[in-house]
């Protein structure tokens, strides 16, 4: 896929992102980017009915799996210092909802993970986004 189709042409500096966007805003865009990149992988690599795509993709992007993935990334020290800070901002932001099949702790961790994705998206870090997607696909057994 053309990189320009996924990444905004208006990439921002680290300082601009931290100054201008809340953890919730970064998580909001990160959630969409993660979902899109996982969907992109399956549509390009497989041929399924849309119901099957939906089942597979939602199984990967659900909060409980995002929480487990971010735990591994932190344990393996695979986040940059700024990503850890962004994760904590997202995780600790005021959350008023909860995922259907996740604890509040898992949901907050997933929100932090999505904030990291949003941060990397706003920064134009496609390689970093691909790294997180590959980790998620590998963890789910698709790579």
Active site residues: 31
Q: What sections of the chain are H helices per DSSP?
A: 3-6, 14-20, 23-45, 50-61, 63-75, 81-92, 104-123, 126-139
CA 46 – CA 53 distance, rounded (Å): 9
73 in Cβ contact with 97 (< 8 Å): no
CA 29 – CA 117 distance, rounded (Å): 8
């Amino acid at each position: 896929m053309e990189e320009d189709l996924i990444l905004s042409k208006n990439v921002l500096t680290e300082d601009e992102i931290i100054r201008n966007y809340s953890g919730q805003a970064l998580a909001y865009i990160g959630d969409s980017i993660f979902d899109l990149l996982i969907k992109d992988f399956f549509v390009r690599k497989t041929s399924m009915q849309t119901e099957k795509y939906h089942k597979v993709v939602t199984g990967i992007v659900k909060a409980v799996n995002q929480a487990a993935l971010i735990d591994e990334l932190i344990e393996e020290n695979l986040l940059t210092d700024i990503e850890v800070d962004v994760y904590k901002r997202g995780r600790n932001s005021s959350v008023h909802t909860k995922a259907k099949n996740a604890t509040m702790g898992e949901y907050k961790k997933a929100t932090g993970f999505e904030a990291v994705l949003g941060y990397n998206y706003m920064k134009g870090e496609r390689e970093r986004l691909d790294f997180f997607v590959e980790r998620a696909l590998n963890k789910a057994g698709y790579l």
